[in-house]
Structure 1
Amino acid sequence: MSKTSIASQWWRYPLWTMAVLGSSKSFRTNPVIGSPGLNERGLHRARVKLAADMAARRRKWLAPSVRDDERQAFDRDGYVIRENALPREVFERLVETLHSTPLPAREMRQGQAVTRMIPLGPNVLSTIPDLKAFTAPQTFAPLIRYVAGLPGEPVYFIQTVIAEPALKKADPQTSLHADTFHSTAKAWLFLQDVGPDDGPFVFVPGSHRLTPERLEWEHRQSLAAHHDDRQHHASGSFRISPEELQALGDFTPQKVTVPANTIVVADTYAFHSRATSPKHTVRAELHAYHRGNPFSPLPFSLSSLPGFGERRLDMFLAYEDWLAKRRHKRPVWQDVGESTAFDEAHI
């Protein structure tokens, strides 16, 4: 954002300042968060440290709802793998149904990859009741909450990643990065076997912990992120090079290859990416994410209110459509009509 643009929007400063107290992360669009002067004085460092402290406190409240072995795996590595996640008969029936049932879908293209999203709102859940085995409050939600360090209900949808390497265009998700400056959780229940050439999830075990080296690295990034050429980096999803990663400690990225019916739940403050696929790939999964105000001291969330949590994604997409129309732009998540989870890309 240019100085002229900032000066003409002086009236936004109260909102930009208040955003510091929440999950806002963009160094480019928020001149308070992106201020080199304030970050030199420790603004970003303080936000990162306080967010980590609050997440640790909330996890103490959430720990009794999580299996000991999974809690220990997360505390050590930053992610949890659970095989045979759903009962076999439910999983097989669900995969068969998702192959043949078109559902309202959105798609987004990033370079050679297209991501499809089918929100799991009340209508879809009533159409395919077996999906409730994934979204039921006591199935995976307690683990997702613990990994995120947040109370409340996750957002659920069917996700399909279509890799089209023949296009020779860069996919920003294949660069190692952290999603934001605080703990968030993402979960993938894979509907197919995922091998090393299928564009698997790549994760850096142990990089979810806020070490002095990581905090100093965060501080250095904050000083120049507002004018970084990398769009995602400037927006607060910091990218990291292999050389920078090694300077932070003994870290090795690992491809997470798993059999079908495995759920992976990861803290995406840790460094991660999507592996490049050398072949055309259509990979489908049941997906969830959980994020919120990283500074909240409360053991509850409005997302737990009946009738609200399962509609949040549909409400968000409707708002994004309205905003894009108002700005005469195309929405990031384009409505492609109905699609099965396993169809080829529509955009």
Structure 2
Amino acid sequence: MNKMPSPRWFAGALLLVTTLLVAAGLAEGAQGGAARPAGQAGNQVFVSSEKDDALAVFDARSRQLVAVWRQCKRPRHLQLSPDRTRLYVACSDDNRVDVVDVASRKTVASLPVGDDPELFDLSQDGRTLYVSNEEDGLLSAYDTASGKRVFAVRVGEEPEGVKVSADGRHVYVTSEVANLVHVIDVASRKVIRNIQVGNRPRRLLLVRDGKELWVSNELSASVSVIRTDTFEVAQTIAFAPRGFRAEDVTPVGMAASGDGTRAYIGLGRANHVAVVEVASRRVQDYVLVGRRAWGLALSRDNARLYVANGLSDDVSVVATASRKAVATLKAGRVPHSVAIDD
């Protein structure tokens, strides 16, 4: 294994990058977590950068870089608390989840959550964090107030995607190696169903008021649609953007519009986002974005889709009405996830 650069090197690199951005007129703020002015609306777009160990924040209206700071080793998944006052950050190489105050951009807590956390989900009341431990093959539940582990359930190898059901009774977890989605009953703390899906399932999305669970299959160029009442696969949605070989179509990240009519699926190395009509489960369009379209997030008005592109080190801003990328935000090395405080 290659030796990781020292923290001092990372800090220096981040400072240099930010200085260059400011000099180029691309940043309004400086290095570090500057507080949001009192009374100002949110409109912050947070992006995690795996290789820079950093978080960046952009102003959603001006699309200018406001600040960038070193958060932890290999930050990945980002998620806002239900009340949108806290930003949770999966720190994969530090074996913890950091809790960042959205207004001040300061870390207010760190939850030790076991080896290599990648993705997680929060209960609807924000009191429980469910996290996948990739190296240990576990789904772990933590009390967000005390930081203590409530329980852990063994699942298949390399668990990744985590999603709490609409009623909070179940937690769904993908196993990349076993090609399964595990259904965990929260009350009994046991796996009650294993659902076979496509090759290398990655992320999960609930649609149709929680009646359907969509699963992105990275190595099958598809999404499996699971009925949550029967835990059966109802349909498989295949993706075939023009000009790309099947092996280059690698769906991972997903997002759904607030009204539930549209779903957006990042197609990885195919450098496109698929637009799918939820009711018919038909692909309506493919939107060209950056290289290796990965993490997706929608603004609350559904007007803008943000797409983290892991190989072009940027975030595409897509206007959902025109289905065109209208801006590109430079977001550090290997951006992973996007979270929007709007």
TM range (shorter): under 0.3
TM-score when scaled to structure 2? 0.24
Q: As a proportion of its length, which structure holds more helix?
A: 1
Higher-Rg member (1/2): 1
TM-score (norm. length: structure 1) = 0.24
Structure with the larger strand share: 2
